[in-house]
Amino acid sequence: MARLEIWLAVLFFCILSCFIPLQLKAQRGTDIGDGIRSTQATDLHARPDAKKQGPKKRTYRYIIKSNSKNTLNGNKCFEEVTRKFGFEYLIALEDYRPNRNGFSRWMHNSGVKFILFFRNGPGWQIRMQKKYRECKYRYGDFTG
């Protein structure tokens, strides 16, 4: 009986000494660079969710005009209105590249207005003119 107990104790010790290092190794992380340690719950190829990263930067279309009439250039209220509608006015002088040809400027502006029609819905120009008048009178940009 004593010999059997000794053999069982040795066998138990061998089994324990084999499984304990495996358990410890499973808890260790691996260094993946920049001092970041990876564990089993870390996905190295994870991509961040774009919706949780905050609002993305918005790009605005440009409507090219040869003079600043009816643009309220410098009026912060109207600039915010045009940005909400998704465009900005670009005042181009006669020598400026987009303004070299009246037909190309008209084509560009027609394309932008076509896109804005589907983005803002029908009647967007009427709504914008209403906001234009409100901003114009609110900030005193009228002569009368």
pLDDT of the residue at 39: 57
pLDDT of the residue at 21: 61
Locate the domains of the chain by residue range.
62-138
Neighbouring CB atoms inside 10 A of 132's CB total 20
Using pLDDT thresholds of 50, 70 and 90, give the confidence band for residue 144.
very low
pLDDT for residue 113 is more than 80? yes
Closest to 63 (Cα-Cα) out of 122, 132, 100, 110:
110
Chain-wide mean pLDDT for the chain?
Answer: 77
Statement: the pTM of the whole predicted model exceeds 0.75? no
